[in-house]
Chain A
Amino acid sequence: MLDALDATLLARLQFAFTVSFHFIFPSFTIGLASYLAVLEALWLWTARQVYLDLFKYWLKIFALTFGMGVVSGVVMSYQFGTNWSVFADRAGPIVGPLMAYEVLTAFFLEAGFLGVMLFGMNRVGRGLHFIATLAVAVGTFISAFWILSANSFMQTPAGYAINAGGQFVPADRLAIIFNPSFPYRLVHTVFAAYLTTALVVGAVGAWHLLRERASEGARVMFSMAMGMITVVAPLQILAGDQHGLNTLEHQPVKVMAMEGHFKSYDNGAPLVLFGWPDEARAEVLYDVEIPKASSLILKHSLDAPLKGLDSVDRKEWPPVAIVFWAFRVMVGLGMLMLALAVFSLWARVRHRLYDWKLLHLFALAMGPAGFVAVIAGWVTTEVGRQPYTVHGLLRTSESASPLHAPAVASSLLAFIVVYFIVFGAGVFYILRLMSHSPQAGEEGPERGQPVRAAGITPAPAVPDALGSPGGGA
């Protein structure tokens, strides 16, 4: 019994680890693919060299990131079977088709045109190449559509029936795909991906502006990124609010944990800003509260009653502290993004976008914020779904494979070691590419032509030698 419990916990840790690592890559490539499509469109439209240079600059980074997204994604498609075979058997008839649609309509589209996008510019001509770039960008979006539909079904199942074997079976296909939380989750996640990309592009632009204020490439990418953040950050806060209200309607226990409401409030619930949720004592220690603010946000009324975790059995509680803190990390970073949006808008109005050092430092510091916020949001919603895999219907403890703890532990260890070596190296290579400023006549990812002298390898080394005459620090 103890052994089975441990194996389930290890299987959860393994899933959390592999999916969190995987999610980092698509949350960047979804936005980056769209950014590349915009850059190529601007180049075709205006014929300005800087857009082509930026396209090629980010294309190399895209190729690295996409490759890591693919290999870490292949792992995910097998995790359900290796560690969650009961879940696979029971929920497979619904989750499986959604993921099959993802493969059929998105993965092949991305993979099929990625080769042309990366290496085909001189083979197919500009028009067809642009179509390939668009196909990859659309593919990343379709992929998000299906996987979030599958995920949302696990949060807010709809359109299903349960057969004699205990399997979930489709009853109403459209109700399954467009289950209650899906539209909110899709918008919130796609905005998050766009923000993540804009923050990275903005940080790279800021880094080069700090070193070399005149760089045209750095200016263009910084301006585009800040513009994107100015538009999307406020929209994202709005979308997050709507998503929260939707969660309150369908998964109220998750919201109780997010808010740290152990008690029910009949006459206006306070907003707990900070504190330490203590599950055993069922209270938030050291709490800092704003009276009645939670009711105002969630019910749009100061005195509206809100139920707390005391209204449900402890067996229905998710791990409160994790959900509580992950939610605060996400919201806090969202507020900082909004601050960056306002700051950059102010700088733009005052024509100081390219020479306000404080703005550039702020943007640089915010570079990784999107990734952290995405993972924190993901933890909030997935840990908040516990103790269920399919909310309210299939418990996590009943979903795991009949595996023994040592097997799961050793594979978990192998995944951790391999991921840190491989993706650590990959992140290092990406940072190295980013540390070189975009150059006029930037090289793309085409390489390895044996005609070249052996020592001269791809882009980075060479343009740097030509580097930044007027720039410096």
Chain B
Amino acid sequence: MPAFDLPTLWAFIIAFAIFAYVVMDGFDLGIGILFSRIPAGHERDTAMNTIAPVWDGNETWLVLGGGGLLAAFPLAYGTILSALYAPIVAMLLALIFRGVAFEFRWRDPRHRPYWDFAFSLGSIMAALAQGITLGALLQGIAVENRAYAGGWFDWLTPFSVLVGVSLVCGYALLGSTWLIMKSEGTLQARSYRLAFALAIGTIIAIALVSAATPFLSDVYWRRWFAWPQVLFTAVVPVLVAVATVVFFTSLKRRHHYTPFLMALLMFALSLAGLGISLFPYVVPPKITIWDAAAPTSSLMFMLPGALVMVPIILAYTGYSYWVFRGKTGHEGYH
């Protein structure tokens, strides 16, 4: 195995897209998940306004994840999506409901409660479906002759549901800490309370998923506990512990930014843990990134695009966030 090759590079590019998606759409899905806990009126409108200018860009990372997977690992794209047909279709339908609610709720005040409900339920379902997808991928997908060979409900197991619920909780944590950062007054006070409870839930969820994963397969077990890797892998839970301590301290001191940053760090560490479990498999237990990779000429076709465009995208996305920086509140966007 060469130290550096194209499939590995592409695996990192797509992992980055997934990470960008999870943290960015994570907080705006999180606000949808929490929507029923935010009173209708000024607080809900403000919560919505904090994400209205950016949600669309956030969701584009999901399209890059899908498109990138199709382009770089077409075999993985085809098998994962047909194996996880039901949760993927559910996620897409849920994203439709929550996506249109951003505009529809303003256009139809009489039916606003319905669109708020669609926003909330759509966000919860999308997060749950994404978590179930991840869980089902971790537990392995049956593949024969370059095609999915399992059943229609293979994805539904206690483990996949656990990962689904965990992701709902984690997104809600991101959402609540985002609101701490972007709001003031009663909404902020409410967000501090929500963040406290959600952080406890998220830590428990991380612990449960981490504890269950090594038992799914020997490969995962060796990945994490074999000597001497354990010296490196042990860093991940230690850092999660550090992030947790900093998180609760900052919450207690009513910091505005630190809770969100620590929640991001927890997500980054969880994804790193995921990478440790999976790499180099893209569809466990059989298909590695090298099996699934598109031909070299295809990977080279896209490489300049990715290497040039991703930094530019990050730059103007950063600019867009900068334009809408600060507290979103009484003055709206004026």
Contact = CB atoms under 8 A, between A and B. Distances in A.
- Do the two chains bind? yes
Interface of A: 63-64, 66-68, 70-75, 77-78, 80-86, 88-90, 92-97, 99-105, 107-109, 111-116, 118-120, 122-124, 163, 165, 167, 169-171, 173, 401-404, 407, 411, 414-415, 418-419, 422, 425-426, 429, 432-433, 445-451, 454, 457-458, 460
Interface in B89-122: 89, 92-93, 95-97, 99-100, 102-104, 106-109
A192 to B, nearest CB: 24
The 6 closest A-B pairs by CB, nearest first: A92-B74, A115-B53, A96-B71, A81-B81, A85-B78, A449-B332
Contacts of B66: 74, 77-78, 81
Contacts of A112: 57, 313, 316-317, 319-320
Given A85-B82, A169-B297, 18 more contacts: A64-B107, A67-B100, A67-B103, A81-B66, A88-B78, A93-B295, A96-B72, A96-B302, A111-B59, A115-B53, A170-B301, A401-B148, A418-B93, A422-B100, A425-B104, A425-B108, A429-B103, A458-B107
Contact of A100 (B52, B71, B317): B71
Interface string B308-334: 011001001101100110000111111
B330 A451 contact: yes
A107 B59 CA distance: 10
11 contacts: A66-B56, A77-B63, A78-B92, A82-B81, A103-B64, A107-B63, A119-B333, A163-B295, A401-B78, A401-B81, A450-B42
Contact of B148 (A96, A402, A425): A402
Contacts of A64: 103-104, 107
Query: Chain A interface secondary structure, helix, strand, loop or mixed?
Result: helix
B221 interface: no
Contacts of A460: 107
Contacts of B323: 115-116, 120, 123-124
Interface of B: 41-42, 45-46, 48-49, 52-54, 56-57, 59-60, 62-64, 66-72, 74-75, 77-82, 85-86, 88-89, 92-93, 95-97, 99-100, 102-104, 106-109, 146-149, 152, 294-295, 297-298, 301-302, 305-306, 309-310, 313, 316-317, 319-320, 323-324, 329-334
A63 B331 CA distance: 21
Given A426-B100, A458-B107, A116 B78 contact: no
A432 B107 contact: yes
> Could you say which of B68, B77, B108 has the most chain A C-beta atoms within 10 Å of its C-beta?
B77
A66 B52 CA distance: 13
A101 B103 contact: no
Contacts of B88: 78, 81-82
Contact of A88 (B57, B77, B103, B149): B77
Contacts of B99: 67, 70-71, 74
Nearest to B329: A450
Contacts of B81: 78, 81-82, 85, 88, 401
Nearest to A123: B323
A457 B107 CA distance: 8
B93 A415 contact: yes
Contacts of A119: 52-53, 324, 333
Given A105-B309, A116-B323, A432-B107, A88 B333 contact: no
A178 to B, nearest CB: 14
Contacts of B82: 81-83, 85, 401-403
Contact of B108 (A93, A100, A415, A429): A429
A100 B67 contact: yes
A51 B57 CA distance: 28
> Could you say which of A67, A81, A414 has the most chain B C-beta atoms within 10 Å of its C-beta?
A81
Contacts, number: 273
A266 to B, nearest CB: 45
A89 B324 contact: no
Contacts of A89: 74-75, 77-78, 146
A81 B70 contact: yes
B320 A80 contact: no
Contacts of A102: 67
Contacts of B68: 100, 103
A290 B332 CA distance: 64
A169 B297 CA distance: 7
A451 B71 contact: no
A267 B109 CA distance: 67
Nearest to A406: B152
B301 A111 contact: no
Given A96-B298, A105-B305, A122 B67 contact: no
Contact of B104 (A73, A120, A169, A426): A426
B71 A450 contact: no
Contact of B56 (A70, A411, A454): A70
Nearest to A177: B301
A124 B333 CA distance: 11
A304 B123 CA distance: 61
A450 to B, nearest CB: 4
A67 B297 CA distance: 35
Given A170-B298, A422-B96, A115 B108 contact: no
Contact of B331 (A70, A105, A449): A449
B334 A122 contact: yes
Nearest to A161: B297
B89 A457 contact: no
Nearest to A452: B332
Given A70-B59, A107-B60, A115-B56, A85 B79 contact: yes
A81 B316 contact: no
B305 to A, nearest CB: 5
B254 to A, nearest CB: 22
A449 B331 CA distance: 6
A426 B295 CA distance: 42
Contacts of A67: 56, 99-100, 102-103
B59 A100 contact: no
Contacts of A72: 96
Contacts of A425: 100, 104, 108
B97 A97 contact: no
A96 B106 contact: no
Contacts of A86: 78, 147
